[in-house]
Amino acid sequence: MRKLVLVAALLLTAMTMAFAGPSKDTSGATSGAVTLTVYHQIDLASPQYEYWPVTLAAFAEKYPDIKLDFEYVSGEQFHDKFQAMAATGDIPDIFTTYVGSRSSYILDRGLVKDLRPYLTDSFKANYTPAIWGPQGPNGEIYIISPNMAVCTVVYVNTKLQKELGLTTPKTLDEMIAQVPAIRAAGYTPLMFANKGVWQAQSLLLSMLVDRMGGTAWFDKARAGTAKFTDKPFVDALAVIKRMVDTQLFPAGVNQLEGPEGWGDFVQGKSVYLLDAGWRVGALKGAAAPADYAQYEAIAFPEVPGEVVHGSSAATLGEALAMNAKLTGAKADAAWKFLSFIYGQEGLDILMKYGTVPTYKLDYSKYDLDSLNRQYIQLTNSQTMGYVIDAVMDGEGVNNLLNPGIQAVMMGSKTPAQLAAEYEAWVAANDSNRKK
């Protein structure tokens, strides 16, 4: 019933947005109203975004004269279409933006407004300080990230563990040792999906590189005083190959879409799920309450040879940003929208739907479930390494490293070969080496 109500709300919202109508002048104002076009990467059918119609309804009630004309696109289709728009310079008023290479096609073209003129000290004080680090080459701030994107979390189906007589593995070797028993029972040991290509780099390699070398080594590799052919990077790639060879992952891991992966976990087809921290909300929305209640969140197990223990990798979560060309009434309306959905009112709603925001809310007033409490405790206890595609140039990551990891997983390239190819590209092209 809850889902039906939400679907109805979504449809009503979509109709409201669709009939918002075009603006009548360049400022977007018509009879005191302002219309903003919004290109948003979310999948409205996903339980992860159940909060969104509620947020929009709250915004519409507070700002009835600001109309929003949405286009929702998810997955790689979002980026494919947005890259084509960016090439013409004709982009919507507001759009989903990532800090780093995932949005390099708009950031490098100067199409995103720098929000620093809007960000007073009193406004910034309401947030986790980590989100205000420089997002552009001159210290620009493009987004108010609503959450930190912790990219590596292992979710545990403890019911299946008990059924199979397993305990939570503390090391990768212990997890691999469980593979025969899990496979014999017809389950997948560690669910993971990498059809989008970026997942193995963002959700796995970034964490492994931090475990093997730490942020200090990565800083040297970025600057060129260390190389991506060094042992930490090669060893991290080799761990991924070992995970494939020992059948931890599902068959066809590189053909699985993300929702298929965590969807199979929710359906009880795997004992463990390798995914990001932002998946908690989706699991809560999709799983039966009794199943969700027994899930646990743990750090990726200890890896042989690691020098940093228990770490994950994190970057700022994506957020909506403003078109750099917005001025006047449209710019004012866009700021009201962004500061609402990423301010106390909007992020209070997000928190109620299971995602811990960067805004400093009083957690004691929220009825947090067990998995959310575990996740907060876990991430508060971890150090965080870099997410590679957030700090290295997009062309090298997207065109060479990401498909190269798939090649390593399939055995058509060795870890050392990929490391050499990536180092050669970085040395010749990456802006980190040109500073």
Site of tokens 């879409």: 257
Strand partners for 213: none
Per DSSP, the three-state class of 370 is: helix
The answer to whether the predicted template modeling score (pTM) of the entire model surpasses 0.75 is no
Residue 204 has pLDDT above 80, yes or no: yes
**What is the C-alpha to C-alpha distance for residues 428 and 32, in angstroms, rounded to an integer?**
53
- Are 34-147+316-370 and 150-315+378-429 in the same CATH fold? yes
Strand partners for 69: 37
**What is the C-alpha to C-alpha distance for residues 398 and 413, in angstroms, rounded to an integer?**
17
Q: What pLDDT is attached to residue 7?
A: 37
**What is the C-alpha to C-alpha distance for residues 258 and 75, in angstroms, rounded to an integer?**
9
Task: Compute the chain's Rg from CA coordinates.
Answer: 22
**What is the C-alpha to C-alpha distance for residues 390 and 274, in angstroms, rounded to an integer?**
20
CB 147 within 8 A of CB 276: no
Structural domain boundaries in the chain: 34-147+316-370, 150-315+378-429
Of residues 55 and 149, more confidently modeled? 55
Give phi and psi for 153, each to the nearest 5: -140, 140
Residue 30 has pLDDT above 50, yes or no: no
User: What is the DSSP-derived secondary structure letter of residue 317?
Assistant: P
**What is the C-alpha to C-alpha distance for residues 269 and 260, in angstroms, rounded to an integer?**
11
For residue 242, give the nearest of 204, 299, 289, 283 by alpha carbon: 204
Strand partners for 190: 272
Residue 222 has pLDDT above 90, yes or no: yes
Q: What pLDDT is attached to residue 132?
A: 87
Q: What pLDDT is attached to residue 45?
A: 85
Q: For 106-111, which contacts have Cβ atoms below 8 Å and span 24 or more sequence positions? A: 106/82, 107/136, 107/142, 110/324, 111/86, 111/323, 111/324
Q: What pLDDT is attached to residue 149?
A: 84
Q: What pLDDT is attached to residue 422?
A: 98
Residue 226 has pLDDT above 70, yes or no: yes
Confidence grade of residue 363 (pLDDT, cut at 50, 70, 90): confident
Site of tokens 């050499």: 420
Give the DSSP per-residue string, 75-99: HHHHHHHHHHHHHHT---SEEEE-S
Q: What pLDDT is attached to residue 117?
A: 97
**What is the C-alpha to C-alpha distance for residues 342 and 316, in angstroms, rounded to an integer?**
13
- How distant is the alpha carbon of residue 67 from its chain centre? 28
Q: Report, as an integer, the average pLDDT of 198-202.
A: 95
Confidence grade of residue 17 (pLDDT, cut at 50, 70, 90): very low
For residue 409, give the nearest of 195, 138, 266, 112 by alpha carbon: 195
The CATH number for 150-315+378-429, chosen from 3.40.50.300, 3.40.640.10, 3.30.565.10, 3.40.190.10, is 3.40.190.10
Distances (CA, A) of 61 to 53, 65, 161: 12, 9, 47
| Tens of pLDDT, residues 408-433 | 999 999 999 999 999 999 999 998 89
The CATH class that applies to domain 34-147+316-370 reads alpha beta
Site of tokens 């449809």: 11
Q: What pLDDT is attached to residue 31?
A: 54
CB 281 within 8 A of CB 270: no
Residue 15 has pLDDT above 70, yes or no: no
Q: Report, as an integer, the average pLDDT of 350-374.
A: 86
Per DSSP, the three-state class of 293 is: helix
For residue 146, give the nearest of 368, 361, 418 by alpha carbon: 361
What is the token pair recorded at 220? 């040297």
Give phi and psi for 385, each to the nearest 5: -90, 180
Instruction: Order across the sheet with 295-298: list the strands.
Output: 188-191, 270-275, 153-157, 295-298
**What is the C-alpha to C-alpha distance for residues 1 and 351, in angstroms, rounded to an integer?**
22
Per DSSP, the three-state class of 230 is: coil
Distances (CA, A) of 1 to 6, 7, 45, 75, 328: 9, 10, 15, 27, 43
Q: What pLDDT is attached to residue 435?
A: 66
Helices 51-62 and 328-341: angle between axes, nearest 10 degrees: 130
Of residues 282 and 29, more confidently modeled? 282
Confidence grade of residue 231 (pLDDT, cut at 50, 70, 90): very high
